[in-house]
Amino acid sequence: MQYSFDGFTFTSDLFALKLRAEDDKVRRFSSSTVTMLAPLLFLLVFALVPHSFGAQLPNQNQAKEPPVAANGQPFPWDRMRLPKTVTPLHYDLSIHPNLTTLDFSGVVRIELDVHEDTSTVILHSKQLQISGALLMAPEGVKPLQVLEYPRFHQLALLSDSVLTKGRKYEVQLEFAANLSDSFHGFYKSSYRTSSGEVRVLASTQFEATFARGAFPCFDEPAFKANFTIRIVREPRHITISNMPKVSGGLLEDHFDTTVKMSTYLVAYIVSDFLSVSKTTKHGVEISVYAVPEKIDQTAFALDAAVKLLDFYDDYFDIPYPLPKQDLAAIPDFQSGAMENWGLTTYRETGLLFDPDRSSASDKLGITKVIAHELAHQWFGNLVTMEWWNDLWLNEGFAKFMEYISLDITYPELQVDDFFLGKCFEAMEVDSLSSSHPVSTPVENPTQIQEMFDDVSYDKGACILNMLRDFLTPEAFEIGIIRYLKRYSYQNTVNSHLWESLTNVSDTEDTQRCRSDIKYEINIKWHSGDELDVRAIMDTWTLQEGFPLLTVEVRGREVRLSQERFLKTNDPSLTEGFLWQIPLTYMTSASSTIHRFLLKTKTGVLYLPEEVDWVKFNVDMSGYYMVHYAGDGWNSIIKVLQHNHTALTSNDRASLIQNVFQLVSVGKVRLDTALELSLYLSRETEIMAVTQGFGELVPLYKLMEKRDMAALENQMKGYIVDLFRGLIDRQEWTDSGSVSERVLRSYLLLFACVRKYPPCLNKATQLFNQWKDSDGNMSLPVDITMAVFITGAQTAEGWDFLFEKYRHSMQTSVRSRMKTAMAWSPRKDKLQWMMEQSLHGEVMKTQDLPDVVVSISKNPHGYKLAWDFLRAHWHTMIKKFDLGSSTISYLVTGVTNQYSTTEMLDEVSKAVFFGSLTEETGSEMRCIQQTYETIEDNIRWMDKNLPLLQAWLNKRIVNTTSM
């Protein structure tokens, strides 16, 4: 899970990682680890399906023609989803990898439960050589005929005799394959020691549909089973898997049988890793594994994992069911992390922490990704979605629990300061017509991969936060405990969650759920019928998008209306949408938070008295935007200008986001939004400051692509002037709270990139001192990005950074250096970085997406990045997989600042994306998102450039005359 943004991508060592978490897996962006600065930094420096309440489960995708097996025989099954005539009970899996020849062989014996008489067993296998298949029946051992259907990754095992309903059988398959050279399945990874030696290991990544590439299996989440795993290895290696080892010799390790779980959670690693261990208060052994030379960077992750697993054990009132939990830092890893049961895996940047070299945002990002993966041990592993259409039940909950858990276990990280940014990121995608419902039908592996996005992760987390605020935290906790206990080791759909959260005031059920919580909860947000959680939440999960609430105050009367917020020229696409919105509001007359459930298109509220202003969506706990019609925005601007602390930091951030987004759909004039932004000269809180950057920086990034240097520089000057006071107050140290330190990194980096003289001079001085010391001088960690990016502007400085990058063993330092080098003005350096990342020797191929997207935000590199993406498209979709969040991150990250019809034509039509086939990505959602985003940019520029020019000119005149 890694996270991507419109500016540089900073992995957890840097500033943030979905990197969707995991997650993922993000969000996001690649998927990948999360660093908090990234969403911020994106702004900062670089900037930047039809509507339906469809069925919970997708239609089973049928072959268009009668399926034919690889040998030419008819294949006996024509659907992508497996039949349920037989289900697996237990896998006995033996794997023999060869890290010299880079291949593996194996034998799997699967115990089957037969639900209907059949002579055919259909299961999954992808690019495996099947050398033998046997049926173990009570009557004896018989050979099975094997047919392969590569299109759906399926095997058919044909028996001469009928497998009888109600009986159990075993099938045994022998198989072999090469270790994958992608980041999926059972794949090869490597690392270079400080002496230059390259060492090879093998690791797994099976989510979502890649277990079938490692062993024949029923590779769908509902086919849960137990797994007993044996791995043959060389004496110089160790092996780890989901469960503890029960025996091990010189050549083979035998692992205990797992609990009942889905195939995508199976994991095993063959390596020379070292480990450190501790035991939780509940008796679970926690171990962190890493390459030998980085084992001294594992202490923080180990302590965090112990604390967080204990927290979840208590919070969910369900004991963690395995005897151990391993966390492994993998040198080559596409996403940010993965929740395999008992063996969570991570990018090195998502797990390794050097107290002397890692930043405050590194600590925040690492802790979040660990919290995310450990939350999955309950949400996802213990209780699993029935099918990938409800992936959000896994990922939205894990993303949400990051914030719930860290707020309690690590209050010093101030994680609440960053949650709102997740909702803004989700809304960016969700405001396009190419968005999708949180729960949406998916059929093939590409569509499944596309579910690992901001909607499943971030929107999922934000609507859960809204529901928690609506039900109260106590009622919500009772409901999710009920859900987890009721469906342990089972598979669920949306409605199971809503049923568990309904009638949570049932005292007897409450006591069964958790003995130490006894609440009587009476929720009355509306008059009339009893609360129907499912009816409310279906409107948020079964239709795409989100509502725009328009508020008009007339004396004591407040008129409300809702519509879909959508960036489009086609008003018909906003018709037919209706949400049940848990509204909150406060007024100038009272700090009391008032609540109301709006279930209709329009409504009216009556205030006890006339007020100066009203603010809806208090703290933006709801997943909706607000437009203040009439004189409403002027009232808001007045309070921000004269007493901005009358509103919370989250309220101020949401007002900034709402007003600028409303400009893009023609609800608010740009000059109104810019007038509101003037208050930011007095702002000091991180969420409001970074959201200000997030709305203003992309404006000059659009101009940058149109060669509008004069207006672009005016806009840059306005932003620097706006935040000059706050920038000048920053110290070049590591002092202060986490939020203060993250904000400092952000502001100084922005100032240096914008060549603000005081910052540029200080950063240049520090870089030269650091260079003169041959990199041995200790720089304050949180300001190193500003120093490195300044140094990388010269050829000599870039070369020095690269030499230090090559030899550093600190993952967070390497990541910051890589990002700084991507901001070079030298096009030859930028091109070289992308080519080296593709080859994977000097720079890891896992970092290629970050390198390409970072270069695309560089004014000297955006055309290089686009040309590189086109030239190496087929290589990248093979390496990173069609539909993956990594490919989506590349496509949208490289193109989302284009603002001309010429670039739209080059991106679309027959020039590039329009020339692709379905097999090479033409149907991917991210391509449609790209078209929409560029079209929206063009409309924005055509409509608002004259207004922007006039407002900036007027401001210069007014400033001069003062």
Checking phi first, is residue 380 left (phi over 0); if not, alpha (psi -120 to 50) or beta? left
Q: Which of 313, 332, 416, 434 is nearest to 50 (CA)?
A: 434
| Tokens of residue 753, six digits | 């990139």
Cα(204)–Cα(212) distance, rounded to whole angstroms?
A: 12
* Cross-sheet strand order for the sheet of 238-241: 185-192, 198-205, 268-271, 238-241
CA dihedral defined by 389, 395, 397, 399, rounded to 10 degrees?
A: -150
| Encoded amino acid at 947, one letter | L
How far, in Å, CA of 532 to CA of 832, rounded? Answer: 58
Q: Classify residue 524 by burial, with Cβ atoms within 10 Å: 0-12, 13-18, 19+.
A: exposed
CB 367 within 8 A of CB 410: yes
Which amino acid would we find at residue 200? V
> Comparing C-alpha atoms, which of 291, 123, 288 is closest to residue 200?
291
Alpha-carbon gap, residue 91 to 87, rounded angstroms: 11
Q: Facing residues of 14 across strands?
A: none
Say whether 373 is catalytic: yes
Contacts 24+ apart (CB under 8 A), 147-152: 147/69, 147/70, 147/71, 147/73, 147/75, 147/76, 148/69, 148/70, 148/71, 149/67, 149/68, 149/69, 149/70, 149/75, 149/77, 150/70, 150/126, 151/63, 151/67, 152/63, 152/67, 152/79, 152/80
d(CA 344, CA 21): 12
What is the Cα 530 distance to its own chain's centre?
36
Say if CB 27 and CB 335 are below 8 A apart.
Answer: no
CA–CA gap between residue 849 and residue 856 (Å, rounded): 10
Binding positions for Zn(2+): 372, 376, 395
The string of DSSP letters for 742-799 reads HHHHHHHHHHHHTT-HHHHHHHHHHHHHHHHTTT-S---GGGHHHHHHHHTTSHHHHH
Could you tell me if 885 and 27 are in contact, meaning their C-beta atoms sit under 8 angstroms apart?
yes
Which helix (H) or strand (E) segment holds residue 863: the answer is helix 862-871
Query: What SS3 class is residue 271?
Result: strand
Token pair of 164 as six digits: 């009888």
Catalytic residue, from 339, 348, 373, 450: name it: 373
Q: How far is 334 from 888, CA to CA, in rounded Å?
A: 13
Question: Annotated active-site positions, please?
Answer: 373
